Amino acid sequence: MSHFIADDGAKIHVRVSGEGPPIVMLHGWTSSHHEWAPLLNDLNRHHRVYRWDARGHGGHPADNGDPPTAERMAQDFANLLDHYGLEKVVAVGHSMGALTLWQYIRDYGTGRLSRLCIIDQSPKLLTEPGWEHGIYGDFGPEKAHELMTWLAEDFAEGVLKLTAFGLNERAREKYLAGTSGWERSRSALRAQDPSPLIACWASLTAADYRDVLRRIDIPAMLVYGGQSNFYSNDTARYVAREIPDAILHIYEGSDHSPHQWQRERFARDLLHFIDAES
């Protein structure tokens, strides 16, 4: 595991592997660089892959740096590009990672990026009158406050409830049945420091990147789960309409992590997208 020091003094851990043009992969909330491990056999043959643990994530001890807000993580991404001297980067962001990339584009533009891959995310998580493309299609201030209460009382269970009681009925059934997969997730979440992750969540739910989508002037590929826990296919189609000339893939049968449920297909789609002529 390598690392770089962000401009506020925080140590950001990064795993680097493979050879070739750079891909930087940004994981989802409460996850880590391990999220991308199943894809490496395919990607490392063609690319040098950079996988970070976003600040506050990956089980690394907290330091004196800033909390992991969307703005700070976008700045960390800029610091990563500077540290490794990267240009013409293929940037891949899942969930929180997608929000980080949209924040980066708002703050820094697309000049150092060549292509963008967004996985199962909405540009605005909270819903409101006239905006139904956020979490569940129905996640307004009251539900957001309820979740923050759950997270404060029992962080791990709050995260699991957010995932289970959404649009994916299979997830709800397995959560209520207490299957082994949910137990493993519960144990992993309980091993993490909740404070920075709760602060991170508050930042993500406050963000609104709808204005950023039309400013994306590089090729973009979107991958959404057909049975996402959080977003309907209408949300996927909205994002595809807003980003000029975006390519949309909906992986039927997959939840919020379509790149993990259909690994071979995702690796194939990503490599084809990278190699396609603009």
Angstrom distance (rounded) from CA 278 to CA 273:
9
How do beta strands 247-251 and 220-225 pair? parallel
Angstrom distance (rounded) from CA 163 to CA 169:
11
Going from the C-alpha of 70 to that of each of 7, 194, 232, 260, the distances in angstroms are: 16, 17, 23, 24
114 by Cβ neighbours in 10 Å (0-12 / 13-18 / 19+) ranks as: middle
Q: Which of 61, 28, 24 is nearest to 259 (CA)?
A: 28
Average pLDDT estimate for 149-168: 97
| Confidence class for position 65, pLDDT limits 50, 70, 90 | confident
pTM exceeding the 0.75 threshold for the entire prediction? yes
- Report the pLDDT value the prediction gives residue 100, as an integer from 0 to 100: 98
On whether the CB atoms of residues 43 and 107 are closer than 8 A, the answer is no
Q: What is the CATH number of domain 2-275?
A: 3.40.50.1820
Residue 139 has pLDDT above 60, yes or no: yes
| Confidence class for position 60, pLDDT limits 50, 70, 90 | confident
Q: Which amino acid type is present at position 63?
A: D
Q: What is the pLDDT of residues 99-121, one digit of tens each?
A: 999 999 999 999 999 999 999 99
Beta strands in 76-229 (DSSP E): 89-94, 113-119, 220-225
Angstrom distance (rounded) from CA 52 to CA 32:
7
CB within 8 A of 154, min separation 6: which ones? none
Q: Whose structure tokens read 């189609």?
A: 237
On whether the CB atoms of residues 50 and 16 are closer than 8 A, the answer is yes
The torsion angles phi and psi of 151, rounded to 5 degrees, stand at: -65, -40
Three-state DSSP class for residue 180: helix
Residue 2 has pLDDT above 80, yes or no: yes
